[in-house]
Amino acid sequence: MKALVFTGPGTVAVLDVPEPEVAEGEVLVHVRAAGICGSELHGVRHPGFRVPPLIMGHEFTGVSDAGDPVIINPILSCGSCDLCRAGQRQICRQRAIIGVHRPGGFAERVAVPASALRPLPQSLSWDLAALVEPAANAVHAWRLAGRAAGMRAAVLGCGAIGLLCLLTGLANGAAVDVTDLSPARREQAVRLGAAKASSEPEGEYDIVIDAVGSAVTRAQSIRHQRPGGMAVWLGLAGQVTGIDGAAVVREEKRVLGSFAYHDEEFNQAAELIGHWDLSWATGYPLTAGAEIFTALMNGEPHPVKALLKP
């Protein structure tokens, strides 16, 4: 079968690979759409969390061998530890992620544990279904932030996660400004309902969501909080924080890390996503995957979200 394979630092290629071996308790999924995530772009450029050779892809949907349309929740956990019992599978100490620790959805077919399958709502197209996973990240970030209604918020970064954070905030009653270095992405955010779009934040906010994760944006998330405000970090562009520790103490500012989502947030994202304008996501054949992935990895701002379709 065909698959987009992370073959080495900075390199991906569409290759012929062996058919997946389906173990006991697993299901063969015929992939219909798989989204390229910003974390994968960073992961290929700077290997470590993801180790080549690897078929990536943790945002995907398809049809099971039994003919059932499904969405994949890629978070795998032990199911029995204190965190799993508390409903926090996403931070299970033994967690694994489909497309990171085992082959993922950048392929024609993939074997996944049956526990990872979720039924595809009839109202969702394949393209929308592939966006449920990143949307669940946005739902989780806003739940960590707390009450959204009436809050003045900033979302740093207008990639797919940033735009989904914008849409989630708007759906929950927040007034949301956005920042991005790309004028085209800022224009897209305004079209979706952002109150203001600029290259960097200005003024103070109750909530700042950093969907980039660079030293610059993390520092901005501290600097542009009001005293007693909150920053939620879910971008993973780098490891350096760049924060002003004295300001955090003296002004009682807060920073929360946000990783993935709870199971109910994944389900909530599947309900919300059909009501949003997601026309900024663009489908491409899997055979064009290496070209599209490499262009995005090298800084090309378009498309905002690429979906690979076998």
105-144 tens-digit pLDDT: 999 999 999 999 999 999 899 999 999 999 999 999 999 9
Query: What domains are defined for the chain?
Result: 2-131+278-309 (3.90.180.10), 136-257 (3.40.50.720)
Q: Supply the pLDDT for residue 42.
A: 93
Whether 10 shows a pLDDT value over 80: the answer reads: yes
What's the confidence (pLDDT) of residue 3? 98
Instruction: Kindly indicate the confidence band of residue 237, based on its pLDDT and cuts at 50, 70 and 90.
Output: confident
Residue 80 makes CB contacts below 8 A (sequence gap 6+) with: none
pLDDT (mean) for 61-81 = 97
pLDDT at 245: 86
Q: What backbone phi and psi angles, to 5 degrees, belong to 243?
A: -90, 155
How far are the Cα atoms of 2, 202, 223, 285, 288 from residue 16, in angstroms, in the given order?
A: 5, 50, 49, 15, 14
Strand 26-35 relative to strand 59-64: parallel, antiparallel, unpaired?
Answer: antiparallel
Average pLDDT over residues 193-208: 98
For β-strands 117-119 and 2-8, DSSP reports them as unpaired
Q: Is residue 165 pLDDT above 90, yes or no?
A: yes
Average pLDDT of the residues in 264-276? 96
**Residue 48 CB: number of other CB atoms within 10 A?**
8
Q: What is the CA radius of gyration of the chain?
A: 19
Instruction: Read off the pLDDT band of 238 (50, 70, 90).
Output: confident
- pLDDT at residue number 263: 96
User: Is residue 240 predicted with pLDDT exceeding 80?
Assistant: no
Q: Is 242 a residue whose pLDDT tops 80?
A: no
Q: What is the pLDDT of residues 84-102, one digit of tens each?
A: 999 999 999 999 999 999 9
> What is the chain's mean pLDDT, rounded?
96
User: Quick one: pLDDT band at residue 243, thresholds 50, 70, 90?
Assistant: confident
Query: Is the CB of residue 40 less than 8 Å from the CB of residue 56?
Result: yes
Query: Percentage of residues in the chain with pLDDT exceeding 90?
Result: 93
**Distance between CA atoms of 301 and 103, rounded to whole angstroms?**
27
Lookup: tokens for 138: 């946005």
Q: Which two tokens stand for residue 36?
A: 């390229």
The stretch 247-254 carries a mean pLDDT of: 94
Would you place residue 235 in the very low, low, confident or very high pLDDT band (cuts 50, 70, 90)?
very high
- Residue 239, pLDDT above cutoff 90: no
